[in-house]
Amino acid sequence: MSKCRTREKSHSGRCKVLYLFVPYKLLNWFCVFRFTLYTQQKRGFRKATKKPEPKKAGPEEAGPSPAEKNEGLLQRQATSPPETSRPQMPPRAFGRLIKPLVFTVGFTGCSFGTAAIWQYESLKSRVQSYFDEARADWLEKLRPQKQGDVRKQINIWWNSLTEGQRTVTGIIAMNAVVFCCWRVPSLQRSMMKYFTSNPASQALCSPMLLSTFSHYSLFHMAANMYVLWSFSSSIVSMLGKEQFLALYMSAGVISTFASYACKTATGRLGPSLGASGAIMTVLAAVCTKLPEAKLAIIFLPMYTFTAGNALKAIIALDSAGLVLGWRFFDHAAHLGGALFGIWYIWHGHEVIWKNREPLVKMWHEFRSRRPGGGGNGSA
């Protein structure tokens, strides 16, 4: 299990070092487990029972009443629901990828646009928040202290977290809620439809995002969330919380689209789920930004290697799994997330984030025209 701490770059020119302690078989953490819930499907459907041949009633035998006929029909429908057919799709139906591609591009643009507006609003309200916090601290000193105040202890713990850890807390909570929903039998059908990504499914776009927050295995969720928690401080300090959230949400959709394309090309259709594709983007971004960061295995701390070499090894392993047809992990989603993280550090930040000024200017003019929008002054 991983734990990282960073040392900022000093004025003497020393490079920033990221110490990361990772477990044996670290790559197993960054996986999207494929599964088909055969157990739930078998529980939901039963083979229809054979209807007995009707006997001809003799003159002395009275036929069943209409009420008895209706009661027997309801019992047969309750115990033997009709078996539904699975959606059929040709192995190489690339036309079905047009809609997911449009959704991927549109969602990515909306994510970064929303993040830019959010950053604008945060900067605008920072001065007011400063005075509110100063007033709250002054009132806290005048207020008598309470012993064993749970709310105060929670506030102390929350304030002790880094900005990155506070940012990913909401992501971890959402994953925990979805994990609990998988344990509700009545939700199994909806969870399979909307929280697993499959190019053969009727729902194509919404699962691309929802499956990023979906884990069926407790170990899978705990491992992914712990890795996200460990890298959160580094990635948020590099990008800021608004840009990080836009990158994380977009990475989940982009990695799922890479999985769609690979499954459609190979004809190996099946459901996938997990946050591994988005986490691979975070991991690749940090390793690309800090290639000389030192990594070590938790059980073998004497053996260290650079983050750049670790990233190369991960990409090589997922590439081999994709070529050789390994089906336990969704290697296409891993590669899609990793390549997106590398591209964003090299070019994406310049192409997307630094060109947000026209959108922010439009939003500022829109806010200025609203009543009480703050006039035409600069934010």
Query: Could you list the active site residues?
Result: 276, 334
Angle at 33 between CA 28 and CA 38, to 5 degrees: 145
Distance (Å, whole) CA 93 – CA 95? 5
Angle at 328 between CA 327 and CA 332, to 5 degrees: 60
Computed over its alpha carbons, how large is the radius of gyration of the chain? 27
Handedness of CA 279, 229, 244, 314 (dihedral sign): negative
Residues 6+ apart with CB under 8 A from 241: 163, 164, 167
What backbone torsions phi and psi does residue 226 show, to the nearest 5 degrees?
-70, -40
DSSP letter for each residue of 86-140 = PPP--TT-GGGGHHHHHHHHHHHHHHHHHHHHHHHHHHHTHHHHHHHHHHHHHHH
Sheet arrangement for strand 294-297:
3-7, 17-22, 294-297, 300-306
Buried b (16+ CB within 10 A) or exposed e, 274-313: bbbbbbbbbbbbbbbbbeebebebeeeeeeeeebeebbee
Helix 357-369 × helix 98-124 angle, to 10°: 60
Strands (E), the chain: 3-7, 17-22, 294-297, 300-306
Residues 6+ apart with CB under 8 A from 26: 2, 297
Helix 276-289 × helix 241-266 angle, to 10°: 120
Distance (Å, whole) CA 368 – CA 148? 46
Distance (Å, whole) CA 241 – CA 8? 18
**CA-wise closest residue to 171 among 275, 264, 270:** 275
Structure tokens at 60: 């002395």
